Amino acid sequence: MFLLPLLVLQVSTRLNLDLAKPGVAVSPSLYGLMTEEINHSYDGGLYAELVRNRAFQDAARMPVDWSAVDGGTIELDRAEHPSPARPVSLRVRGGAANAGFWGYPMRPRTHYSLTLVAKADAPGPIEATLESSDGSRVFAKAEVDGVGPAWRRLTARLATGAGIQPTADARLVLRTGASRTVWLGFVSLFPPTYHHRLNGNRVDLMNLLVAMRPRFLRFPGGNYLEGGTIAERFPWAHTLGPIEDRPGHQCPWGYRSTDGMGLLEFLEWCEDMHAKPLLAVYAGYSLGGQVVKAGPGLEPFVHEALDEIEYATGGPETTWGARRIRDGHPGPFDLAAVEVGNEDGFDRSGSYPGRFAQFEAAIKAKYPHLAVISTTGGQDWLGQRFPMTHAKPDLVDEHYYASTWDMMAMADKYDAYDRKGPKVFVGEWASQDVPAPWADAAHKGPTPNMKCAVADAAFMTGLERNSDVVAMACYAPLLVNVNPGARQWAVNLIGYDALTSFGSPSYYAQKMFSESVGDQTVPFSLEGVPEQHQNGKTLPGIFASVTRDTRHHQLFVKLVNALQAEQAVEFRINGAVPDAVGSQITLTSDPSAMNDIANPKRVAPATSRLDGVGPVFRDTLAPNSVTVLRLAIR
Ligand code: AHR
């Protein structure tokens, strides 16, 4: 006789929810996004420009990413250039091809907008084609007329037919004719963009970001704000106006930025996501160690920051507000906060307290309603607590790049945090399954696996439970071009190539939390939680956070099972009556499972109906999972 396996899992864990007791308010801006130019986040990423090295400035001696076609020649020409902002052109005989950012995205029935700044020693058209990289297939073609002896800005549209298969194996070719010389000063090609914005963003990536419902966007960095040197800081004033007049600048992550994603584009990106801008202003410290100490020498930088804030928020009577209006955005932007610098604990000269105080005083004097964030005073990811020797800032920015174990260990970090200190902005954080965020970048990642997603979710339960002290949080880095050689950071939230994109398991964990935030925490206790062990250390195997939406009478129960076995949980609800039917969203997979270009949804959340809900009910958590229960309550 065979014994049937026991089908009912023994309950060891009990979650007691007490809705009769008051919780704390959940910050309305708890979950947001952090962004900077890294891993080709904008150029070759979100910013939809398809031409790489469009102004021929990416290398001093070579027209990199361009090649001659049809037996012709190409050469950089510093004697001929259309604008002082771009002191070089490409001299072409025959024709030139551009390789794009690891190809061009070809889709059927799609219009591509071409802009050239060009001149020639003899009149005649330029033939533009989008074709396969070996030239054997032409996807779209157009003639650009009006090329003559003076520099002119010319446009054309290339349209693909219905019959082509989507591919990234494509290039842009400009055939200029064998018997004349053409100078190209600028070449740009855009596919359709999100909300059809001119100079706008990639549609697929915007869809992924909007689905996260971010409440704010921290920009422009990160290290990208600071630059390797003071001269290479984010040059916001030079990122405005026509793209062909933007000089671009060296990005600290090893390549040049076009600055096509300029200050106005960042702000409009926020607008498109219904997220508030969190503007980080350069504060006198660059990565190479250059420091401008507090005092008169810092004043020009303080003014630069005030002007930047004025550009974002000023009215028509202000210099920079009027400039924004001329640039095409009449209304002011509603800033979430201003952050002074980035990771200034690395400034070993100890100058940050003075620099912060000078910036804060000037910002508060002109914009008293704006929250000002300090980059020291919290704790950084090397475990150091940078002392705050100046007045209490509105928020302190803490960064954590930690192993999955250490991230789970930090799930209770804020339970005992000082409630009398400044609020916390966790401005960069991510679980890593690599030895260090920058190490092994070629071999690990490029996006997190399910093990990271579980650790991320465990940490987020702690952020949410303590949302009275943790006001804002954002994962970093956000974006990565997954082509070989494109990235500098090992583990990143969203991956893409020229044609397609995917969210990682951690992306889905973020999305699940952000979709079910609520406005108040619900006090609860967990009993009988099984433990997990590693290297003689012990952590709980299950993590939880419970919030409610008091306006819509919804209860959100988030449970993270870090164990490799199913866990039965008994729920006891006091102080409210749940409807009998709720819904359950589950993200589960093997710890090592990842998404990628070929399998973009190998790991993705599944929503199911949850029956039998009542004051006391049971549910089973999948192994290695993140679960959100959404219950209606009366
Ligand atoms: O997110 C990558 C980098 O990590 C950021 O630019 C920097 O702020 C941090 O050190």
Pocket of ligand 1 (CB under 6 A): 36, 38, 221-223, 342-343, 428, 476-477, 489
At 537, list the tokens.
């250390």
Q: Which of 35, 36, 382, 492 to mutate to test the pocket of ligand 1 (most atoms within 8 A of CB)?
A: 36
Q: If DSSP codes are grouped into helix, strand and coil, which group holds residue 293?
A: coil
Atom number, ligand 1, closest to the C-alpha of residue 477: 1
Atom number, ligand 1, closest to the C-alpha of residue 342: 8
- Which pLDDT belongs to residue 5? 43
CA of 520 to the centre of ligand 1 (A): 31
The predicted model scores a pTM of 0.96
Say how far apart CA 442 and CA 335 lie, in whole Å: 37
Give the residue ranges of DSSP H helices in 367-413. 404-409
Atom number, ligand 1, closest to the C-alpha of residue 36: 6
Q: Which residues does the chain have with pLDDT short of 50? A: 1-7, 439, 441
517, 528 Cβ separation under 8 angstroms? no
- Closest-CA residue, ligand 1 atom 3, reads 222
CA of 80 to the centre of ligand 1 (A): 39
- Closest-CA residue, ligand 1 atom 9, reads 222
- Which pLDDT belongs to residue 491? 94
Q: Strands, DSSP E only, in 470-541?
A: 470-473, 479-481, 494-496, 501-503, 520-521, 524-527, 531-534, 537-540
Say how far apart CA 238 and CA 306 lie, in whole Å: 16
CA of 518 to the centre of ligand 1 (A): 30
Q: Which of 34, 233, 343 to mutate to test the pocket of ligand 1 (most atoms within 8 A of CB)?
A: 343
Q: What share of the chain is helix, strand, coil (3-state, %, to 5)?
A: 20, 35, 45
CA of 149 to the centre of ligand 1 (A): 47
CA of 38 to the centre of ligand 1 (A): 9
- Closest-CA residue, ligand 1 atom 7, reads 222
- Residues 341-389: pLDDT tens digits? 999 989 989 899 999 999 999 999 999 999 999 998 876 655 566 666 5
- Which pLDDT belongs to residue 434? 75
Q: Which amino acid is at 135?
A: G
263, 243 Cβ separation under 8 angstroms? no
